[in-house]
């Protein structure tokens, strides 16, 4: 996709407008804070009606529309091994926004999203948004209207209680809709999503809205497809890719893009416009990347290689 950036200066702020064939995306250089809105009630008040005290959704889908096999973790980790830099080892996975957000060429009766895996030490929050692809509407961080879907995207034993295959439903989506995701880095604090996160800690599948200053650094997500299982997978990098000092504990990015891994089920699958997405089945390792070969190897490498997880383990040990 070819972008034609235009930079305007209004009231001392730089306004960036990016024209694509389907949407205009704009952002500002302001440092406003992120005020979370929760799904499904769209309230800024964290409601224990919808989430429990661990930040886990209460409205999990009882009968998911897609079957999620645990082997999907191994398949994904072949592409996104822990601690290995995607831009160095598999740069083709970092695409333009057209291939980072999920485009629907037909209507969906339901879109469901599942917790698959976290390769992270942070307690991240994950939200979603949707926008029209057939109308040239300016997109910005406010108009996207992020809604927090997983206040605490942390697994059981690693700071949360999410489990593989916990699905939530976004409901029906119209034809010509795109679905994107938002990560609030280390957003779960003191029993809710931290309303004091700044733009430097919010990352989206709409790269122009991300805080880094170059188009390469602004990419935070990888979209993969498992057409046999009829599932899409999103991997997200949870650290500011340009500045360590913008991250909690001044952690520097490892660019492994596996810190949050989501599965997305669109019913029907034929409504997904993802014919040229990278497929993960069969799981072929990317050239130059030696991924783990088993689930055991994945978990072992996580413990060994994640400095944030190690830091967090130290803090937990010190507090007990």
Kindly list the residues in this chain that would bind Ca ion in the complex (CB under 5 A): 119, 237, 254, 256, 258-259
Nearest distance from residue 183's CB to Ca ion, in Å?
Answer: 11
What's phi and psi for 203, nearest 5 deg?
-130, 135
Sign of the CA dihedral with 172 first, then 173, 174, and 175 last:
negative
Residue 158 Cα distances to 76, 89, 153, 162, 188, angstroms = 20, 28, 10, 9, 13
Compute the least distance from the CB of residue 80 to Ca ion, in Å. 8
Nearer to Ca ion, 74 or 259 (CB): 259
Decide whether 38 or 115 has the Cβ nearer to Ca ion.
115
Other residues' Cβ atoms within 10 Å of the Cβ of residue 303: 11
Q: Can you name the residues that pair with 222 across neighbouring β-strands?
A: 235
Helices in the chain by DSSP H: which ranges? 71-79, 86-89, 141-144, 295-305, 307-318
Closest approach of Ca ion to the CB of residue 225, in Å: 21
Residue whose C-alpha is closest to residue 241's, from 222, 219, 208 = 219
Kindly report the number of other CB atoms within 10 A of residue 104's CB atom. 21
For Ca ion, the closer of residues 146 and 256 by Cβ is 256
Find the shortest distance in angstroms from Cβ 259 to Ca ion. 4
**33 SS3 class:** strand
Q: Give whichever of 158 and 177 is closer to Ca ion, judged by the CB atom.
A: 158
CA dihedral 124, 127, 133, 139 (to 10 degrees): -80
Distance separating alpha carbons of residues 22 and 139, to the nearest angstrom: 11
Closer CB to Ca ion, 61 or 184, in the complex: 184
Q: Return the DSSP state at 308.
A: H
Q: Could you tell me the smallest distance in angstroms from the CB atom of residue 255 to Ca ion?
A: 6
Q: Which is nearer to Ca ion, 74 or 237 (CB)?
A: 237
Residue number, 139 or 183, with CB nearest to Ca ion: 183
- Nearest approach, Cβ of residue 165 and Ca ion (Å): 20
State how far the Cα of 123 lies from the Cα of 98, in Å rounded to an integer. Answer: 28
- Indicate the residue whose CB is closest to Ca ion: 119
Q: What's the min distance (Å) between Cβ of 237 and Ca ion?
A: 5
* Closest separation in Å from C-beta 308 to Ca ion: 8
Q: Which helix (H) or strand (E) holds 76?
A: helix 71-79
**Which is nearest to 285 in space by CA: 70, 81, 69?**
81
Task: In angstroms, give the least distance from the CB of 24 to Ca ion.
Answer: 30
How far CA 138 is from CA of 135, 209, 315, in Å, comes to 9, 12, 43
Toward Ca ion, which CB reaches closer, 57 or 119? Answer: 119
Please name the residues in contact with 41: beta carbons below 8 A apart, sequence gap of 6 or more.
47, 49, 50
Nearer residue to Ca ion within complex by CB, 166 or 259 = 259
| 185 neighbors 201 (Cβ within 8 angstroms) | yes
């Amino acid at each position: 996709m070819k972008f034609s950036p235009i930079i305007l200066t209004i009231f001392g702020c730089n306004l960036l407008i990016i024209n694509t064939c389907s949407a205009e995306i704009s952002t500002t250089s302001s440092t406003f804070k992120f005020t979370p809105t929760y799904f499904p009630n769209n309230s800024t008040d964290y409601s224990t009606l919808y989430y429990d005290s661990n930040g886990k959704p209460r409205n999990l889908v009882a009968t998911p529309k897609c079957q999620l096999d645990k082997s999907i973790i191994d398949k994904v980790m072949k592409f996104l091994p822990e601690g290995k830099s995607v831009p160095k080892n598999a740069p083709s996975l970092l695409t333009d926004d057209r291939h980072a957000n999920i485009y629907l060429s037909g209507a969906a009766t339901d879109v469901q999203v599942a917790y698959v895996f976290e390769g992270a030490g942070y307690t991240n929050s994950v939200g979603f948004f949707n926008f029209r692809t057939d109308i040239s509407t300016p997109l910005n961080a406010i108009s996207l209207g992020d809604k927090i879907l997983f206040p605490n995207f942390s697994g059981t034993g690693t700071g949360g209680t999410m489990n593989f295959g916990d699905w939530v439903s976004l409901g029906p989506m119209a034809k010509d809709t795109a679905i994107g995701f938002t990560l609030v880095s280390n957003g779960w604090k003191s029993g809710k999503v931290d309303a004091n996160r700044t733009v430097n800690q919010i990352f989206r599948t709409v790269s122009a809205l991300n805080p880094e200053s170059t188009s390469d650094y602004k990419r935070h997500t990888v979209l993969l497809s498992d057409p046999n299982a009829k599932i899409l997978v999103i991997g997200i990098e949870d650290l500011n890719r340009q500045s360590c000092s913008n991250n909690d504990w001044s952690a520097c990015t490892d660019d492994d893009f596996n810190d949050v891994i989501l599965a997305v089920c669109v019913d029907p699958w034929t409504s997904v416009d993802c014919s040229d997405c990278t497929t993960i089945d069969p799981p072929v390792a990317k050239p130059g990347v030696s991924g783990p070969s088993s689930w055991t190897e994945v978990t072992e490498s996580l413990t060994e290689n994640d400095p944030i997880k190690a830091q967090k383990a130290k803090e937990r040990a010190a507090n007990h």
